[in-house]
A and B are shown apart, each in its own frame.
Chain A
């Protein structure tokens, strides 16, 4: 029996095509994933991402433990109300998962992926020796992500009155605790927006209020094309336990601000740096297909430096052409892909194609 979020019945009522996603019955789309994609770029859409894992960390050593566990440095979160993106690395410098960690009044809250849940919980349990921490999964939590140029004002109509002024003031990666809700300026689309983590039993009423305010439901299909346009990695596809962050366009998430900090994967990433300087580490690049056709995940590409692989390929509804993330040899200057028997040229760009509704590469 698949797991269902507290919003499952509302997805069905909204006409969702339900698919299995890592053991969860989730909405793929509610009719057209392209229409839903445009809805987020042009106005505001809501995603149910309650299948993701919410883990609260408290205790005297919470900060020290997370500084050891995470490749980014939670010491940068100087007060509750701040958040950052981080990788969880293994000792070989491969990626166990990616996550957002929020500093909250009671300690820290991490939101990790759905498909990695058991692996991550085991990893945390295996690596907490000697630290005074309390780790608690919030199994009952629901998460809604509301994104789009009008998402924040529309969401404010569905939020508790007393929180609205503060929510409007939130900066990027800022968050706010209202009773047992966490409202944060984080997301996965390249648009303005909020993520709201709240007790599952309260999710339905908020969902209804959002829809009444004019926000439209958006499924996992559009979530994937939106994040790809934004150049954001999908765990398990663009990176996994065998991938160095340096080969996943994520070196910026490994913090060296405190040179003394010991964190899992540190020595391995230092070795990766050396290999990168020697040109031995591949890079995660953006690719654009200028002709008709669609690049597909796991397709091979050829560059002047050798072969590479598309880690995420799809059609960009905003650009109306195909885009991809691909891991290709360092220093590649040109790239092609086999398309219907012939070789089609691909433009190599920095990962990131669309931000705030606009094309961002040359």
Chain B
């Protein structure tokens, strides 16, 4: 069973989102997702300043196995991307929930978060796959 932190929200497409005290959200992919993808070799990051809709394509992760789209769990504006991933995309493999984060964004509507899964529901989803 892979690690699934309690204080994150999850999408059914295996992205996670964590909101800090200032309302800034950080997005990445779950440990389960990185395991399924295998070693990640390139990441196409979004442009900071981009407005993005919930469930729209925000980034592309290319692994040894396949290319995989990363969908934004919520709507908002992208404020920052993890440039460390350009030289070291395997951070997503080794630390998917912290150093391997992909981008940060502001959230237009906090109610988007209610549409997402909590850790327990996400664990059930992974177990079913």
User: With A293-B42, A294-B41, A340-B60 known to touch, is A32 a contact of B90 (CB < 8 Å)?
Assistant: yes
A contact face: mostly helix, strand, loop, or mixed = mixed
Residues of the B chain whose Cβ atoms lie less than 8 Å from the Cβ of A317: 41
The residues in A between 179 and 229 inclusive whose CB is less than 8 angstroms from any CB of B are 221, 225
Residues of the B chain whose Cβ atoms lie less than 8 Å from the Cβ of A85: none
B38 at the interface (CB under 8 A from A): yes
B41 touches A32 (CB 8 A): no
The residues in A between 8 and 32 inclusive whose CB is less than 8 angstroms from any CB of B are 17, 28-29, 32
Measured in the bound complex, the distance between the Cα atoms of B38 and A225 in whole Å is: 13
The residues in A between 248 and 304 inclusive whose CB is less than 8 angstroms from any CB of B are 292-294, 296
B77 at the interface (CB under 8 A from A): no
B36 to chain A minimum Cβ distance, whole angstroms, is 10
User: With A32-B90, A32-B93 known to touch, is A225 a contact of B42 (CB < 8 Å)?
Assistant: no
B112 to chain A minimum Cβ distance, whole angstroms, is 27
A315 at the interface (CB under 8 A from B): yes
B24 to chain A minimum Cβ distance, whole angstroms, is 28
B38 touches A33 (CB 8 A): yes
A314 at the interface (CB under 8 A from B): yes
Measured in the bound complex, the distance between the Cα atoms of B38 and A17 in whole Å is: 10
Q: What residues of chain B have their CB less than 8 Å away from a CB belonging to chain A?
A: 35, 38-39, 41-42, 44, 60, 62, 64, 66-67, 90, 93
Q: What residues of chain A have their CB less than 8 Å away from a CB belonging to chain B?
A: 17, 28-29, 32-34, 221, 225, 292-294, 296, 314-315, 317, 340
Extra inter-chain contacts (9) besides given A292-B44, A293-B62, A296-B67, CB under 8 Å? A17-B35, A28-B38, A32-B90, A33-B38, A34-B90, A293-B42, A294-B62, A294-B64, A314-B64
